[in-house]
Amino acid sequence: MPTFDDPAFLARVDAAEEAAMADPVARVLLTHAVCPTASDRCGWQGWLLEAAWRRIAPGEDPFSRRAPAITNQICPNCGAEVFRTYVSRELVAEEPAPRN
């Protein structure tokens, strides 16, 4: 397991960050979900990531460049499978601001 003071590990993290910023996620779909309210479940509710897409060129299909993302439907509190409601939000990013 790498440590945070390992220069080789930090260099790999820097490279991953640069690649992510060079080809960022520009659109995400979120769904509100609830942990089943049965007595053996926790009742958690919140937003889950359904999908993410990378930035596209003008005129390109906005859903053509899906980005890798964690989209499992598991309760972050108790690990049960959650129920996805019909409440969803699609968020589209403005161009990312330059980072220093």
Q: How far apart are CA 98 and CA 100, in angstroms?
A: 7
Q: What sign does the dihedral 69-48-18-16 (CA atoms) show?
A: negative
Residues that bind Zn ion (CB under 5 A): 35, 42, 44, 75, 77-78, 80
Least distance between Zn ion and beta carbon 13 (Å): 31
- Of 8 and 38, which has the nearer Cβ to Zn ion? 38
> In angstroms, what is the minimal distance from the CB of 77 to Zn ion?
4
- Report how far residue 33's alpha carbon sits from residue 52's, in angstroms, rounded to the nearest whole number: 17
Kindly tell me which of 25 and 45 has the beta carbon lying closer to Zn ion.
45
DSSP 5: T
- Residue 45 or residue 54: which is nearer to Zn ion going by CB? 45
Smallest distance, Zn ion to C-beta of residue 38, A: 10
Element (H, E) at 46: strand 45-54
